[in-house]
Structure 1
């Protein structure tokens, strides 16, 4: 696909916003996938192409989190394993689904999460001592398997559900949870991207241009979190969730 200069600028600009949102909260793909479809990519190709930006964005994010000593790959890899298996399964799913029903279900779950974030702020900003360094439970492994299935199949909105699992289920504060989130997403997205490549559902040029913006946004997002802390990340999370919920409910047309 030959891209005009203004489309290139739109991809980079949208990528910056998506990378920042993905790294600090979730839902950035709600911006990038529609844009990829707007420039002419079929929905399945847009879904696959977006994974290039996600992979490169998360490489930058994980590298920056490591330099800031927020993430320790020696201990924070455990929950990534079931997510990878789930993502591979999700990327192979080829069943008919009611997209409108799915959007409403996701919006409903996010409304519940929004109330939890607003009404129980302490759960999102304080790490639970003695819980977060323990070996994950069987339930956590099961939860992250299904998180992976969803991420491998759709990707959009996966960050919110992963944050809920990491904060409410595993006891991490938002900054640490975001670091582990992007690490898990990096690993399972690589696997999912390989499957999309195999099925020729990736536009490499558009994906790499979008990725330039995503990487810049990811770098900015990590530094915002390290400087502002979990308290300010929570505000970004609330704002992103409100916008995504309204978008899923068709408020923006």
Structure 2
């Protein structure tokens, strides 16, 4: 694939995606369609995107750690469970028809929009952490299936985790985000292995996208948790709705 200057657009797109993925979720809803629109077949775009996610989440983990924030070993237990599930999801993603994949992605984007608009409001006050015993075992089981979904497409999984972790395990927004990026980093390793073995990664484009994703993740991980995310939410709604409509008819 000859280099085209429009590929450089992946850097700002990746920055926004890395930032969004770190503080909330939904970045893949920007990068995956962008790769498809640049001409990559759906499975190749999916695999290429995973390299950026892998480095992005690793960078975010380091960013949170630099602020002394961690949920270890709770996050490790969930990460291992999701890692095992990711192999199943990635194998499904590789074998699926490209046109069907695009339609599935479009539907997921619309579902994420509905969650953003009408989902339950999260109240992080007066919650008690439950990261051992029964709540831990339930979370491990749930995150195995989240790993399957993450291995398959990853899009919007951050929102799911930010709903599950506070309500099931009583984690604050900050600790939910820390757990989320660690788990995604772990299970993405499994997905990357599968996509790499199946030769479904465009490494030059992955490198360009990674520059943006990693930069956005580092910035987002060090950004103040006490933020007004209304502007980000509005931006995500407008952007994702536009991409969903275009992807459906792509």
TM above 0.5, one fold? yes
Is 1:134 the equivalent of 2:129?
no
Where 2:75 maps in the other structure, the secondary structure is coil
**Structure 2: tracts of 5 or more residues without a match:** none
CA contact (8 A) 1:127 1:172 kept: no
Q: How does 1:70-81 map to 2 (within 5 A)?
A: 70-81=69-80
Inter-partner Cα distance in structure 2 for 1:14 and 1:50? 12
Change (3 A) 1:21 1:138: same
**Structure 1: tracts of 5 or more residues without a match:** none
Q: Which residue number corresponds to residue 216 of structure 2? A: 217
Is 1:107 the equivalent of 2:110?
yes
Q: Which residue number corresponds to residue 232 of structure 1? A: 228
Shift of 1:221: 0.7
Please report the TM-score for the alignment, with normalisation by the length of structure 2: 0.85
Inter-partner Cα distance in structure 1 for 2:126 and 2:154? 27
Q: How does 1:58-73 map to 2 (within 5 A)?
A: 58-73=57-72
Q: How many residues align?
A: 243
Change (3 A) 1:92 1:53: same
Please report the TM-score for the alignment, with normalisation by the length of structure 1: 0.84
Inter-partner Cα distance in structure 2 for 1:98 and 1:44? 8
Q: Which residue number corresponds to residue 2 of structure 2? A: 2
Structure 1 window deviating more from structure 2 (33-42 vs 21-30): it is 33-42
Q: How does 1:16-165 map to 2 (within 5 A)?
A: 16-93=15-92, 94=95, 100=103, 103-104=106-107, 107-108=110-111, 111-112=114-115, 114-117=117-120, 120-122=121-123, 125-126=124-125, 128-129=127-128, 131-135=129-133, 136-165=135-164
Where 1:69 maps in the other structure, the secondary structure is coil
Shift of 1:59: 0.9
Inter-partner Cα distance in structure 2 for 1:239 and 1:37? 24
Where 2:26 maps in the other structure, the secondary structure is coil
Change (3 A) 1:106 1:35: closer
Shift of 1:217: 0.3
Inter-partner Cα distance in structure 1 for 2:51 and 2:85? 19
Q: Which residue number corresponds to residue 245 of structure 2? A: 250
- Runs of 4+ that moved beyond 6 A: none
Shift of 1:251: 8.0
